[in-house]
Chain A
Amino acid sequence: MSMTALLGALELGLLTGLLALAVFLSFRVLNFPDLTVDGSFPLGAAVCAALIVAGANPYVATFAGAGAGALAGALTAYLNVRLKILHLLAGILVMVGLYSINLRVMGAPNVPLIGTHTVISDIESAGLQPKYALPLLFLGIAAVAAALLTWFLSTEIGLAMRATGENPRMSSANGINTGRLTIVGLAISNALVGLCGALFAQSQGSSDAAMGSGMIVIGLASVIIGENIVPPRLMVLAVVGAIAGSVLYRLVIGFALSGNVIGLQAQDLNIITAVMVGVALVLPRLRATLKRRSAA
C-alpha cells in the first residue's frame, strides 16, 4: 500500500470512527439495534449540502447535519418507546422514510459540492496539504468525540443510560426513566452519524441519496473488530476500540484494494475484505488458545 493510500485509509477510518462511536452507543450501550443509521447518514449529508449550496456557512451547515441526524434518532426511539414498535422495525421505518425526505431536502438525487465553500475547502485554502491535514483533522474530531462520549457515560445520566441498556427493569426500579433516556441516547448516536455524513459529503464532493446504503454494516463491523483488538475492560478502551476498529477496517480494505497485484480482480474486493476481517477476528482467539495449550 502506498503512503497516500495508507493516509487515505487512516483519514476515512477516523472519519467513519464517528459512525463506529454512534453504533457503539446504540448497539452496545443502549442494546438497541438501530438501523436508522442508513438513513441518518445521508440525511446529515443532505441537510449540510443543501445549506452550503444555498450559501450558508459550512460550519453551521455541518452542525445542522448533526442536528438533523439527532431528530431522526429521536424519532426512531419515540416509535419504539411510546408507540411500542419493535426497535429493529422502528429503525427500518425511519430509514425507509428518510430516503424520500433526503430527496426532498436536496431537491435532486445528487448535490455536488465540488468547488463550493466547505470545511474541507477551508483546509485547502489555508495552504495545508489535504493529504496530511485531513487525517489530522479527523483524528482531532474523533478524539474530541471519544473524549466527550467517555466523559458523558461516566456522568449520572450516562451511568443511567448504561444501566438502561443492560437492565431496563432494574433501571426503572431505581428511578431511571428508560424511555426518555433511550430517546436521548439515540438522538446523540444519530447526531454523530449526521455529523459523519455531513463531513463525508464535503470531503468526497457530493451528497447522494443512495450514500447511506451499507453504513450500519460498516459501523457494526468497526465496533466488533474494535472489541476484538482492544478488550473493552474500561469504558475509555471500548470507545477508543470502536474508532480503532473503524481504522483497521479501512486498512483492511486498503490492502484488499492492492490485491490486484497478486492477481485478484476488482469484483473480488468484498470477499477479500470479508476474509481478511474474518481472519482479524479469529486470530486473537487462536493465539489465546495456542498460548493456553502450550502453558498446559
Chain B
Amino acid sequence: MNTLCRAALAAAALAASASCWAADKLIGITYYIEHPVVVELLRGFKDSLKAEGIEDGKGYRFETQSAQGSPVTAAQIAKKFAGEPFDLVLTLSTPSSQAMVSAVKDKPIVFAGVTDPLGAKLVGNLEKPGGNVTGSKDAPPFDKVFELIRATIPNLKAVGILYNAGEANSKSQVDQIRLLAKAAGIEVFEVTVAKPSDVQAAAQSFAGKVQAIFCPNDGTVISNFEVLNRVQLETRIPVFAADVSTVNRGAVAGIGASFYQGGLNAGRIAADILKRGRKAGDIAVVVPDKFDTAINVKTQQALGLAIPESIRQGAKLLGQ
C-alpha cells in the first residue's frame, strides 16, 4: 500500500477517533429527505433548545445525518446511532423514525413530523408511550379546514383532493377528510400522484368538477406547490391548505399548526429529558392545540373570492 493510501487512512482514523474525545452531551438528529418541512421542524427544535441553554458547542454537540431518500442509508444511520453514546436522538418523518425505533432501544428518541405515530408503531400509547420513544405529532386540523371551505364556498358540492398514495401521512389525512365530506353530503374527487411532475395534470383534471381543492400535508404535492398554485389561478378553483406555510406560498386560505410549532414542542420534550431527567416513556406525545388561520390576500383578490368577516378576523394575512 503506497504512502498516499496510508496517510489517507491515518487521517480518517484520527478524524473518527476525534468523536470520542468530547465529554459533551451528544444529540443526534436525523431526517429522511431534505424538505422545507424538515427545515421548519429543525428551526423550531433548535430555537426551543436554545431558549433552555442547550446549544451546539456549549456543553452539547449536535450530529445531523440525512438519509437523502435512501431506506438503506436510513437503516445504516439508525445502526450507527445505536452504537454511539448519544444522550438523545431526534428523528424527523416516519421512515427515519421507524428505522431508529427498530434499532435503538436504550436511548431516548424524540420524533417530530410524524402524522400517525400510533399507526407507524412508534409508540403503543399516545398518553403514556411507556418505552424510550415520544415526540410531537402532526395533526392537521381537517375538521377546521373543512369548515373553512364550507364557510367560504356557499354552493359547495364537490371537493378535489390530490395526494401521493404512497405517503403514510397523506393516506390517513385523506381518509379523515373523506369521512367528513361524506357526513356533510359533499362529493370528493381524489387523484393520486406518484411524483412531483404528476401534480399539474392531476390538478387540471379537477376543472369543471369541483368548487374547491384541498391540499393535504403531502410531501409530493407540497414540494411542487408552485404548479398547483398556477393551476389554481388558471382554473379559478381555490386551493385550501392544512398548514400555514402553504398558504404563504399561495393557497387562498388554510388552518394549520405550524411545523415550526411542532419543532418547538419536540425541543421542549428534549429539554425535559436532557435537563430535567424525565423519561421519554413518561412524556405524552404532544398533539398541537394551537392553530393559526391564514389567508393569502393576493390569491384571494386574484380569484375574486369573498371570505366571511368572521374568518378574516384573527387570521394571519399573508401574500401582501
Contact = CB atoms under 8 A, between A and B. Distances in A.
A112 B98 contact: yes
A108 B171 contact: yes
Interface stretch (B10-18, B152-160, B233-241, B266-274): B10-18
A252 B227 CA distance: 38
A2 interface: yes
A4 B102 contact: no
Interface in A1-38: 1-5, 7-9, 11-12, 16
A4 B83 contact: yes
A72 interface: no
A105 interface: no
A16 B73 CA distance: 11
Given A2-B83, A103-B165, A205-B99, A200 B75 contact: yes
Q: Which 9 A-B pairs have the closest CB atoms?
A: A4-B83, A8-B79, A205-B102, A209-B166, A112-B121, A110-B168, A266-B66, A5-B80, A114-B121
B78 interface: yes
B16 to A, nearest CB: 5
B126 interface: no
Contact of A213 (B12, B69, B119): B69
Contacts of B12: 255
Interface of A: 1-5, 7-9, 11-12, 16, 99, 103, 108-110, 112-115, 131, 200, 203-206, 208-211, 213-214, 218, 250, 253-255, 257-258, 260-262, 265-267, 269-270, 283, 287
Contact of B98 (A9, A109, A204, A261): A204
B120 interface: yes
Contacts of B69: 213-214
A260 B99 CA distance: 21
Contacts, number: 147
Interface in B58-82: 63-66, 68-80, 82
A260 B64 contact: yes
Contacts of B77: 257
Contacts of A258: 15-16, 19
A114 B166 contact: no
Nearest to A134: B79
A261 B120 CA distance: 32
Contacts of A4: 79-80, 82-84
B84 A253 contact: no
Interface string B157-197: 00000000111101100000000000000000000001000
A269 B166 contact: no
Given A8-B80, A266-B64, A218 B72 contact: yes
B264 interface: no
B14 to A, nearest CB: 9
Given A8-B82, A114-B101, A204-B98, A1 B16 contact: yes
Contact of B168 (A108, A260, A265, A269): A108
Contacts of B72: 12, 16, 200, 218, 250
A198 B34 CA distance: 27
B2 interface: yes
Interface in B121-143: 121-122, 124
Contacts of B68: 267, 269-270
A12 B75 contact: yes
B75 A269 contact: no
Given A1-B16, A254-B76, A260-B63, A203 B102 contact: yes
Nearest to B119: A112
Interface of B is mostly: helix
Contacts of B108: none
B79 A5 contact: yes
A203 B98 CA distance: 11
B9 to A, nearest CB: 10
Nearest to B166: A209
Contacts of B171: 108-109
A257 B80 CA distance: 9
B174 to A, nearest CB: 11
21 contacts: A1-B16, A2-B83, A4-B82, A5-B80, A8-B76, A12-B76, A12-B79, A110-B94, A204-B74, A204-B75, A206-B121, A210-B71, A211-B71, A218-B72, A253-B76, A254-B76, A258-B15, A261-B16, A267-B66, A270-B68, A287-B2
A49 B159 CA distance: 34
Nearest to B219: A210
Contacts of A208: 71, 95, 166, 168
B64 A265 contact: yes
Contact of A8 (B5, B83, B95): B83
Interface string B30-72: 0100100000000000000000000000000001111011111
Contacts of B94: 110
A204 B73 CA distance: 11
A112 B194 contact: no
Contacts of A110: 94-95, 98, 119-120, 168
A39 B28 CA distance: 32
A266 B65 contact: yes
Contacts of A213: 69-70
Contact of A109 (B19, B76, B124, B167): B167
A262 B15 contact: yes
Contacts of A267: 34, 66, 68
A28 B166 CA distance: 32
A219 B309 CA distance: 59
> Quick one: which of A1, A113, A204 has the most chain B CB within 10 A?
A204
Nearest to A96: B194
